[in-house]
Amino acid sequence: MGRKLSAFAAVAALLLSFGQVEAATGAGSVTQRIGNPIPDSTAPGNGNQLAGLIVNILPAEAAAAGATWTPPGATAASASGGSLLILLAAGDGGQRALKFSTVAGFDAPVAPVITLTRGFETIVTFTYRRTTAPVLPATASASATRGLTFSFSPRATGSPATSYTATVGGGETLTGLGLELTTSTGTLRGTPAKSGTFTFTFTASNSAGKSTPMVLTLTVTEPVQLVVPVNATQGSVAVTPNRAGLLFAANETVTVTAKPKSPDFLFDGWTFAGATPASVTEAKTKFTFTPGQAVVAATAKFVANPFLTRADSYAGRFAPTANVGVANSGAFALKVTTLGQFTGRLKLGASSFSFKGAFHADGSAPDVTIPRRGQAPITISSLQMDFAGSEQIRGNVDADDGAIAFALDRAVFDAKTNPCPQAAIDSKTGKPTTARYTLVLQPGPTMTPSIPNLGAGTATVLPNGTVRFVGVLNDGTAVAQSAVISKTGTWPFHTLLYQKRGVLTGDLTFRDLGATGDLDGTLDWIKPARSTPGVSDPEGFAVRIGVIGLR
């Protein structure tokens, strides 16, 4: 038993060595420390469930004036020095909050939560602070907008103020200005009914006295009204923040969001009067009002959606008119949605790039910049969709060799509803079927026609307009290429050769050549120089050759 008491005393000594904790409160201060162990002879659970609490109040004048504290869960108040035992249930962390009475001439402390320790007395000392008159600054200023809510609260120091007064100069009244004062907090709030400059005299008081006056200068400016005319049959406009009357302060940031009523319409930009936002091309536009403007009109323009009949896949190739090479030629594909948004795939030289963007309602589109690691970016510029007969998308690819024009053709053919005329018709079923063409590569007009056949192969045309070519060049190089035939019968031919260091590129056209054939065109054949002994054309070449095809 003696050994147990010694261990208990050691724990008590350790707790007492913690000293005291002091914290500032809303008024006055509080200190807390661990006191003596609680005798365990009659306590529940051998004293492990009990905690003691002793509360002292300073200064003595506050205690003598009747300052009291109320323990948690009790209604009877206790005087300074009072103590009690609190039974802590299992899992109870021992946290308790105390309440203190108000005493004339003193500010009662706003007590923190007290943490009790099982088996020990917790001694807490609270200090009441003598009440002093509140202090306000000599001047203050604020701004407001007529018709918009306004709030101002003076910041008094010293002891808390219990009441405020405010008077208006110049023969005005709070009611006449659309304002009211909350006397317990000093908050001036309301919706200003007049514009101009007004002065208010504030005082704050408590039991210790009254502050010296504070003069508030309030400047009330005229609001800016936003007008958003819109054709309700085509779309709507949302305004954020959304206020009654759409009144705003000058220089306030406002967001206007245009939304078409249905997919039949597209947003086509804003027309602004009275303010110029940084951008008028996006469906969601933020802008700042200009001071002095009485009215700002933001008109959303909606137009009939032209992409409902142009949402499709588009493809083509590009190359300069002269000095064609691997690095300045390639293939291009776009997929356009019914809202005019597009995703694209660009093959330039041996590299491929993905990108996206959106057309405006007039078929134009902002430039698209494609970054490249270690190289200047690629720019796709002057994009324009033709809503007329060609059904093409035109533009420029600007890379290392300058701008190169391109034209992408729409994939107009469908095996069921609009079969490709270059396909065949099954003689038994009368339905579209695959057609095959034999292609022969021939010397171009500037080449010596000593080699009549530079290569040959077979082109397969499907009813959906897809054409696939498989062939062999006269140097033994295998060639494979696929594309989509345009509505005018153009076949954009582009394929890389010689481990992507050479290229065969050009446009072929399906047409009736009589006995000569059913398609023709020219291709640029670029073959790199090779250093392998015994190979043909070790210097490489760049030639333009002809193509004849027969079904």
Report pTM: 0.65
The 3-state secondary structure of 346-375 reads EEECCEEEEEEEECCCCCECCCEEEEECCE
CA distance 217 to 29: 37
The 3-state secondary structure of 463-496 reads CCCEEEEEEEECCCCEEEEEEECCCCCEEEEEEE
Q: In the prediction, which pLDDT does 16 show?
A: 38
Buried b (16+ CB within 10 A) or exposed e, 239-264: eeeeeeebbbbeeeebebbbebeeee
CA distance 468 to 457: 10
Asked if residue 246 has pLDDT above 70, the reply is yes
Q: In the prediction, which pLDDT does 281 show?
A: 55
Which of 67, 213, 232, 218 is CA-nearest to residue 141? Answer: 218
Quote the percentage of the chain above a pLDDT of 90: 64
Exposed/middle/buried for residue 448 (C-beta within 10 Å: 0-12, 13-18, 19+): exposed
Exposed/middle/buried for residue 77 (C-beta within 10 Å: 0-12, 13-18, 19+): middle
- Of 115 and 394, more confident: 394
CA atoms lying within 13 Å on the CB side of residue 436: 5
Helix (H, G, I), strand (E, B) or coil at 506: strand
Q: In the prediction, which pLDDT does 154 show?
A: 94
Tens digits of residue pLDDT in 73-105: 778 899 999 988 888 887 888 888 888 998 888
Q: In the prediction, which pLDDT does 539 show?
A: 75
Asked if residue 538 has pLDDT above 90, the reply is no
pLDDT, average across residues 112-135: 89
- Of 402 and 395, more confident: 395
Bridge partner list, 258: 237
Q: In the prediction, which pLDDT does 495 show?
A: 97
Tens digits of residue pLDDT in 178-219: 999 999 999 999 999 999 999 999 999 998 899 999 999 999
- Of 12 and 212, more confident: 212
Q: Cβ distance 454 to 442 under 8 Å?
A: yes
Tens digits of residue pLDDT in 54-63: 999 999 999 9
Q: Mean pLDDT over all residues of the chain?
A: 88
Which of 483, 493, 488, 480 is CA-nearest to residue 510? Answer: 488
Handedness of CA 237, 243, 247, 251 (dihedral sign): negative
Asked if residue 45 has pLDDT above 70, the reply is no
Q: In the prediction, which pLDDT does 167 show?
A: 96
Q: In the prediction, which pLDDT does 17 show?
A: 36
CB atoms within 10 A of CB 284: 13
Exposed/middle/buried for residue 348 (C-beta within 10 Å: 0-12, 13-18, 19+): buried
Handedness of CA 279, 280, 284, 285 (dihedral sign): positive
pLDDT, average across residues 276-285: 63
Asked if residue 221 has pLDDT above 90, the reply is yes
Asked if residue 480 has pLDDT above 80, the reply is yes
Q: In the prediction, which pLDDT does 18 show?
A: 39
Q: In the prediction, which pLDDT does 287 show?
A: 76
